[in-house]
Amino acid sequence: MSVHIDSLNISMEWWYWLILGLILILLELQNGSFLMLGLGVSAATVGIIEYIYEDSTGGIGIKFALQLIIWVILSVAYVFAWKKYIHDPRPVISDLEYKTIGIVIEDIEPHKKGKVMFDVPVVGSREWNAIADMPIKKGESVKIIEIIQQTLKVAPV
């Protein structure tokens, strides 16, 4: 039993790919993960390839199945390149910032966030949510032990 899909034998217009790419890039502005950016750039690239190929062959475009394969390959390549060469999940923090002493401005209890204020910005912010393994009262001085996503793990000085 074989299934023949005629819709994969048609050629999708180059500007459809550019619109799809633009939509995906605009969605990236809402998301911020850079995944949609790669998909959008890949779609726009397929549109450019289709435009050049169609222009050079006198109006005969690349079949949709091949366009789709090119888009998938470019998208996967972009995601791998992003993970390997561009994206660094570790926060950028210097030894100086780890040595910065802060003051607790909201009590910190184990398993409950409090707040810490620093005189100088730490990774761009003076005020941070903080957690600790022991209770720390408002007004006490603390040092940074670890950064866990958007929260500092602190300990009394």
Token pair 């923090």 is at which residue?
A: 93
Three-state SS for 137?
coil
pLDDT at 3: 43
Distance CA 78, CA 44 (A): 13
| Tens of pLDDT, residues 50-96 | 999 887 877 778 888 899 999 999 999 998 888 777 765 655 555 55
Domain residues of the chain, as ranges?
A: 6-86, 95-156
Distance CA 127, CA 102 (A): 9
Q: Which CATH class is domain 95-156?
A: mainly beta
Mean pLDDT in residue range 132-148: 92
CA–CA–CA angle 45, 47, 51 (5° rounding): 115
| Tens of pLDDT, residues 30-53 | 877 788 899 999 999 999 999 998
